Chains A and B, each alone.
Chain A
Amino acid sequence: MVAEELREREARGRYTTVSIPITLYRRIKELIKDTGFTSVSQFVIYILREVISSMEEEKLRGESISEEEKKRIIDRLKKLGYL
């Protein structure tokens, strides 16, 4: 995303600014050369979303349904021939 577009979107309230060390910024800038990423911001957003979603998944324990509900579902699945 070009800087101008980014600024425009920021102005519309959908982006905000966070700070990263300048050394890290340079390192990322070098890393993303000739990749599909067109800016450091785009790369950081991508990585953060990837990391956050896997952390959220780890945090989520198994889904719980009551034994009664489980029995009702299994009975229906058997009746329909799925089990």
Chain B
Amino acid sequence: MVSKPHGMKLVNRVVAGKRREALLREAQELPKIVVNYSLAADLENIAHGVYSPLEGFMIQEDYLHVLYDMRLSNDVPWTIPIILDVDPEEISGIKEGDEVAIRYGDHLMAIMNVEEIYGWDKLEYVKQVYKTDDRGHPGVAKTIKKKELLLGGRIDLIDHVHSRFEKYTLWPIETRLLFKERGWKTIVGFQTRNVPHLGHEYVQKAALTFVDGLFINPLIGWKKPGDFKDEVIVEAYEALLRHYYPRDSVVFAVLAMEMRYAGPREAIHHAIVRKNFGCTHFIVGRDHAGVGNFYGPYEAWEIFREFPDLGITPFFIRESFYCKKCGGMVNAKICPHGEDSRIRISGTQLREMIKRGEKPLKEVMRPEVAEAVLRFKEPFIK
């Protein structure tokens, strides 16, 4: 059986039919708020149940519980605040209880019932969520630039942002049915923001050995400069899946959601989201959602101990490497050979090689994947 939705309720705040038509008319008369791509993606994720049980942007009570206790006010685990930031002048004349139209550019997306307008302490936010206030942390830098007030309240989604990856966009109600139709009872989710190298393939296939299906779910959307562009990740995975994965055991779909680089807290968030897609298991690797040296290599494993009620089982998989004597990808637990036999995969070195237009060793990256990546003149975000 696929996993139960988080908070036991798969949220659906997408309006259709006559109600949608009525809201479209109503929206013309409402004050508007314009959001960026990341918030537009959050809107869609709330409405489609990716963030179940959230039905809107957080009100203050939930926000504070998440910040300090890593739980919603009803005790359901939740580690990353889902918030809508606005400038005071943007909402002049808007008061609690009002409805506002939310737009992405000129595009009307949703109507929000403003339940609460409240201030927030950004410094306290970053200390709790990122465990640092160092502006060198990309999540901290981004948070500090956010606007001064937060709006909390339920939303109704009227329309979507056009996705560049429509054929790879699936929502929880769809994946849950898809997994059932395929007869999968156990599904492991894999979160990524990278092009796949052999280490990723190793952990995915190691996990897949023990379950019915693998759900590969890269993040699309805001990432820090130096990360791979969305289209590069998608094309690299297309190449890998085409040549090296059994079609019947794998589902590949993208998720529009910004990376926070919040390490352990974000690992829990990533697991919750995949639980809503129907996953029963979730792969947590070394330094999951980490950046630089802000988090310990296995901090993201430790935090799972605090959530006996998470409802999704983590697969903790060690760092892997290629061993020349073993003749394949292995990890320190199963390989008896010394460091001189091991080819370790360094993400930094891999990026440097790709920047220089060099093809990585076949012991590091599948040639078909390397070719897909190297077809891009500018594979990295600037």
Q: Which residues of A contact B (CB under 8 A)?
A: 14, 36, 46-47, 49-50, 52-53, 56-57, 59-60, 63, 65, 69-70, 73-74, 76-77, 80-83
State how many residues of chain B have any CB contact under 8 Å with chain A.
Answer: 24
The answer to whether B4 has its CB under 8 Å from any CB of chain A is yes
Question: Given contacts A56-B8, A57-B8, is CB(A77)–CB(B174) below 8 Å?
Answer: yes
Give the residues in chain A near B68, CB-CB below 8 Å.
Answer: 14
Evaluate contact between A49 and B308: CB separation under 8 angstroms: yes
* Across the A-B interface, the 10 shortest Cβ-Cβ residue pairs: A53-B309, A50-B308, A49-B309, A60-B8, A57-B4, A73-B177, A73-B174, A49-B308, A80-B167, A56-B8
- A77 near B178: Cβ-Cβ < 8 Å: yes
Q: Given that A53-B309, A53-B311, A77-B181 are contacting pairs, would A63 and B176 also be in contact in the complex, using a CB cutoff of 8 Å?
A: yes
Q: Are B177 and A77 in contact (CB under 8 A)?
A: yes
Residues of A within 8 A of B170 (CB): 77, 80, 82
A56–B309 Cα distance when bound, in Å, is 10
B317 within 8 A of A: no
Cβ–Cβ < 8 Å partners of A83 in chain B: 178, 181-182
Whether a CB of chain A sits under 8 angstroms from the CB of B10 is yes
Most buried by A among B68, B173, B182, B309: B309
Which residues of chain B (303-338) have a CB below 8 Å from chain A? 305, 307-311
Residues from chain A with Cβ under 8 Å of B305 in the complex: 36
Question: Once the chains are docked, how many angstroms separate the CA of A77 from the CA of B68?
Answer: 40
Interface assignment of B33: CB less than 8 Å from any CB of chain A? no
Q: How far is the CA of A45 from the CA of B4 in the complex (A)?
A: 22
Assess whether B83 is interfacial by the CB under 8 Å rule: no
Encode B181-194 as 1/0 by CB contact (under 8 A) with A. Answer: 11000000000000
Q: Complex: how many Å from CA A69 to CA B60?
A: 35
Given A36-B305, A53-B309, also A70-B4 (CB < 8 A): no
Across the interface, do A60 and B4 meet the contact criterion of CB distance under 8 Å? yes
Give B2's nearest chain A residue, CB to CB.
A63
Complex-state Cα separation, A60 to B311, whole angstroms? 13
CB neighbours of B65 from chain A (8 A): 14
Expressed in whole angstroms, the minimum distance between the Cβ of A72 and any Cβ of chain B is: 10
Which of A46, A52, A77, A81: most chain B Cβ within 10 A? A77
Is B251's CB within 8 Å of the partner chain A? yes
Neighbouring A residues of B311 by C-beta, 8 Å: 53, 57
Tell me the B75-98 residues at the A interface (CB within 8 Å).
Answer: 75
